[in-house]
Amino acid sequence: MIAPGRAIGVLGGGQLGRMFAQAAQGLGYRVHVYEPSGPSPAGAVADRETCAPYEDLASLEAFARSVDVVTYEFENIPSEPLRVVEGIVALRPASSVLHVCQNRSREKAWLSANGFPHARYAEALGGDIGEAAGAVGLPCVVKTADFGYDGKGQMRIATEQDLAQASAIFRGRRCVVEQWVDFEREISVICARTAAGETRTFPAAENLHANHILDLSIVPARIAPQVEQAARRLAERLAGALGVVGLLAVEMFLTRPGDLLVNEVAPRPHNSGHWSMDGGETSQFEQHVRAVCGLPLGPSGARNPTVMVNILGDAWLRGGGAMAEPDWGAVLAEPRARLHLYGKPDPRPGRKMGHFTVQGSDIEETLGLARAIKARL
């Protein structure tokens, strides 16, 4: 057990690292953030921040030596630096987990090999999108194997014309082409797992996306109890099979016939788990701290039906391309709402700047209030 008072290292300095750091500090840990791109949202609240490239192995070694365990909030970390860290201190989840999850092609192959359900897909080495799309059928979606997030590096293909366009755009890049799933709902389950193999899942969140970016998460998800159970079991089995120590977020499609397909997995806190900061018995960030430090896991139920709404840089946009601060009073004046901002200085369209949650006793009424607040922002 890594006891409170010890130091946790976090690779990546975004909002997930920031909320993780705040939760860790709440339990008395010290937090050291490593972020290549310069002073970061997580670094701003951490006890210490190192800003250096992942390839700067001397800085990375010094970072690893300064802490008792290292975790990450971001998947796109090169493997050589991870091995360096792992040679010095425990990395949780392990680099082997990240290796699978950071590349869509490896992730899909791993899901297949381990018998987990997923949408039909084919690999496309640059230029071969036509062949892969032929194997999968239209409509489909092409996704780059590496470095995709929030729908970046993705294109839906419905027509031959789209296909020609996609072939030009993705030429020379390693991609996967996936069958487009006409889903009933999109849900996610976050599973915490300790080194001893104890697991605990949060309730499934129902996720609504806009432009491929998460817009709203709704807890409880509006699905049948047996689907909820199956989704939580699936996430537990995945976390166990991958050997995750920490959190595993599992995004799933619920198909119209009622099957669950794994869309993607992330070995870290997840945007769709932010509801738990206010509506959960334990927040996903605290649960992550508990799991990586070997503390007992916290209860993972929902205290109230909760809706989480993402606040993107788009909320700053006014007519004629002008930018202005959103009307925070719209959230702050509502006693059932809680505002979380990430301290990012420059709002840009599509950039995650913060979120708010709304709690209530009835999920439809709570969803209505959340949407009304969003419109007033």
Ligand X SMILES: Nc1ncnc2c1ncn2[C@@H]1O[C@H](COP(=O)(O)OP(=O)(O)O)[C@@H](O)[C@H]1O
- Contact residues toward ligand X (CB under 6 A) are 119, 141, 143, 148-151, 178, 180-181, 186, 209, 212, 251, 263-264
In the bound complex, what is the minimum distance in angstroms from residue 34's beta carbon to ligand X?
22
In the bound complex, what is the minimum distance in angstroms from residue 104's beta carbon to ligand X?
8
Q: Helix, strand or coil for residue 53?
A: coil
From the list Mg ion, ligand X, none, partner contacted by residue 222 (C-beta under 5 to 8 A by kind): none
Q: What are phi and psi of 325, to 5 degrees?
A: -60, 135
In the bound complex, what is the minimum distance in angstroms from residue 119's beta carbon to ligand X?
5
Number of residue whose CB is nearest ligand X: 181
Which is closer to ligand X, CB of 145 or CB of 337? Answer: 145
| Bridge partner residues of 248 (DSSP) | 191
In the bound complex, what is the minimum distance in angstroms from residue 264's beta carbon to Mg ion?
5
Which residue stretches of the chain are H helix? 15-26, 57-65, 79-86, 95-101, 104-113, 129-136, 160-169, 225-242, 276-279, 284-293, 329-332, 363-376
Which is closer to ligand X, CB of 188 or CB of 194? Answer: 188
Q: Considering only residues 213-272, where is the footprint of Mg ion by CB under 5 A?
A: 251
Which is closer to Mg ion, CB of 107 or CB of 251? Answer: 251
From the list Mg ion, ligand X, none, partner contacted by residue 49 (C-beta under 5 to 8 A by kind): none
Which is closer to ligand X, CB of 252 or CB of 353? Answer: 252
From the list ligand X, Mg ion, none, partner contacted by residue 186 (C-beta under 5 to 8 A by kind): ligand X
Instruction: Identify the residue whose tokens are 């059932």.
Output: 336
Q: Is 211 left (phi over 0), alpha (psi -120 to 50) or beta?
A: left
Which is closer to Mg ion, CB of 104 or CB of 193? Answer: 104
In the bound complex, what is the minimum distance in angstroms from residue 251's beta carbon to Mg ion?
5
Nearest CA among 367, 366, 369, 337 for reference residue 354: 337
- In whole angstroms, what is the distance from residue 50 CA to residue 70 CA? 14
In the bound complex, what is the minimum distance in angstroms from residue 376's beta carbon to ligand X?
26
Which is closer to ligand X, CB of 181 or CB of 223? Answer: 181
Exposure string over 264-289, b if 16+ CB within 10 A, otherwise e: bbbbbbbbbbbbbbbbbebbbbbbbb
From the list Mg ion, ligand X, none, partner contacted by residue 75 (C-beta under 5 to 8 A by kind): none
- In whole angstroms, what is the distance from residue 177 CA to residue 106 CA? 13
Question: Which uninterrupted H or E stretch holds 307?
Answer: strand 306-312
Residues at the site binding Mg ion, with contacts judged by CB under 5 A: 251
